[in-house]
Amino acid sequence: MRYPMDGLPQRVTIYEVGPRDGLQNEPVTVPVEVKAEFIDRLADAGHRVIEATSFVHPKWVPQLADAEELLTRLDRKPGVRYPVLVPNERGLDRALEHGVAEIAVFASATETFAAKNLNRGLESQFEMFEPVVARALDSGVRVRAYVSMCFGDPWEGPTPISQVVTVGRRLLALGCYELSLGDTIGVGTPGHVAALIDAFGGPERLAVHFHDTYGQALGNTLAALRAGVTVVDASTGGIGGCPYAESATGNLATEDLVWMLQGLGIETGLDLDKLVTTSTWLAGRLGRPSPSRVVQALSKG
């Protein structure tokens, strides 16, 4: 049954991050043929944006060392976007060599995480992003930006909203078409979400990316929708985390998000049964159950 609520969008785009943000945090490396089938299944389930992989150095994220081979194996579906994460100019070179049409860059809202994740300071990280974004745009490649630690940092504590806004606005000013606000360690709450979006002056060009460490991901998503956000990052099966922040647990599960949105009468274009089947299939390859509550419930049913 559908029970719409006032003040919510009619349609939400789910930006699927499972193949990249999900698999990068697995303790074992998933075979490239499994990754390719995973992405193909996601497209078949109705996804129109699937973040395929990352061109980060294999030393830092060995689970994604097969990025080039994966892209050659993809059966690209018409109307489906396959962005990749690019950390620096070398990563951009690799992406351009493989004809990538859309990339994402990954920034930090805090000094400590910038140092640990990017080996840069809060200010100097932009010296790395600026040429990447400029060259990508000159090549006709769209650029999305992530900002991590938007709500809290395990080393610094709560992140000042003004600091997040400063970093985010600079990324948008570079020419990024969208800014994904990340709750990397899952400490955000709905009021905090609403306050952060309001501090940006509204939801224009904003997306959200929640982790479910404290069970707040769906509540935080609902707060973002009420504030006008229409793009939500999620990971099929709820897999993923952050290899540079031990307290970061799994991403918001795509199935859990779709269940909520369907109940609210919000369109996503996704087939929930196919997503559940895909998560169950992937869990078998990972050797553990899916953390998604919806997958667990429907699999038992």
Half-sphere exposure for 252 (CA within 13 Å, toward CB):
27
Q: Give the phi and the psi of residue 53 in degrees, each rounded to 5.
A: -170, -170
- In Å, the largest CA–CA distance within the chain is 52
Compute the distance between CA of residue 172 and CA of residue 24 in angstroms, rounded to an integer: 26
Give residues with Cβ within 8 angstroms of 252, minimum separation 6: 209, 210, 211, 212, 217, 218, 221, 232, 233, 234, 235, 238
Residues known to be catalytic = 242
Judged by DSSP in three states, 109 sits in coil
CA triplet 294, 253, 83: central angle to 5 degrees? 140
Judged by DSSP in three states, 235 sits in strand
Radius of gyration of the chain (CA): 18
Please give the helix or strand (H or E) that residue 19 lies within, else none.
none
